[in-house]
Amino acid sequence: MKILQRVLYAILLLIAVLVLNFSMLHLAPGDIADTIAQSMGGADAEILEQIRSDYGLDQPFLVQLGQYIWKVLHFDLGHSFFYNQPVTTLIIAKLPATLLLVLTAQLLALVVGVLLGVYSARHPNGLSSHFVTLFALFGYSAPVFWTGILLLIAFSLKIPLFPVAGMIDVTVEGGFFVRALDIAKHMVLPVVTLSSIFLALYSRLCRASMMEVLGSDYIRTAKAKGLSEREIVLKHALKNSLSPVVTLAGLQFSAVISGAVLVETVFSWPGLGTLALQSIIARDTPTILGILFFSALVVVVGNLLTDLALRTIDPRVRGKA
């Protein structure tokens, strides 16, 4: 029952996001007709009125909003006048590149962050603990685009180990593994850049949670029973300390998506971030609205999956359902 309620709340939230995004773009100066006229080198009033009529801009605001929501409910995000393609087709075409970047960065941040957090929690007074603290401070404070530019200068220009931009090298020929290796080389710098800030957060949070769990009564009981440190950490402490990390990962997924826009721009990665930037420059309103809605959908689904993951790894959350 709780799951059904949250799904219902998620649908209502998505509708609210639709209304808010549409209203904000509607209030912005200018419209599609002005942008198309500029790309044509100018147009008279009659042509502008015809363009507005073709795109339904001559209708009242509430009518436009209702028609747009009705289309979205039927999985129609509109038509891009700049790319002359359905917005859904554009998003589906760019989605694999963004998912590859975002999911890889999130997975890297979680795995490395948890490992660093566990190791530093087991050695709270050692150099590793101080290193995690300094690393978290640097990773969280450094802007993601600044980190990306520094990595580009260091490992693409000064030391040419990785490609400067793009996702593939069109001159590379070969089978599946050759092309996969080429994509992997292009992914290194964008993934490291995007994961840096979240890796710092996860490592710091996992360290704090792990230290709290290691000081609890049942851990002392496990030690008194003669269990090895490896068994205590892996079977008892780690599972209970992961709950806040998983929660943060779900809440930060929206930040990963927004960070991907900057990272894709820096590295010319052919994903939704680059599409969003080009659409904003071209004032392609249908595409902008489609990307905003899809981003909200990803965040809402990510939060629902986070709830399910917490119920799986933490019996205390499952018991409250």
Q: What is the tally of structural domains in the chain?
A: 1
In a domain, 42, yes or no: no
Residue 120 included in any domain: yes
Pair 272, 94: CB distance under 8 Å = yes
Residue (of 108, 184, 190, 94) closest to 145 by Cα position: 190
Residue at 188 is within a domain? yes
Per-residue pLDDT of the chain (321 residues; tens, 9 = 90+): 567 777 788 888 888 888 898 888 887 776 677 677 666 666 667 777 777 777 777 788 888 888 888 888 888 888 888 888 899 999 999 888 888 888 888 888 888 888 888 887 777 777 767 777 777 777 777 788 888 888 889 998 888 888 888 888 877 777 778 888 888 898 999 998 888 878 878 887 888 788 777 777 777 777 777 777 677 776 667 777 777 777 777 767 666 666 677 888 888 888 888 888 888 888 888 888 888 888 888 878 877 777 776 666 655 555 555
* Residue 125 in domain: yes
Integer Cα distance of 168 and 174 in angstroms: 12
Q: What CATH number is attached to the domain comprising 178?
A: 1.10.3720.10
Rounded distance, CA 238 to CA 170, Å? 45
- The answer to the question of residue 321 being in a domain is no
Q: Enter the pTM of the model.
A: 0.78
In a domain, 107, yes or no: yes
Report helix angle 87-122 to 272-282, nearest 10. 130
**Structural domain span for residue 211:** 96-283
In angstroms, rounded to a whole number, what is the distance separating the alpha carbons of residues 41 and 298?
38
Task: Answer whether residue 79 is part of any domain.
Answer: no
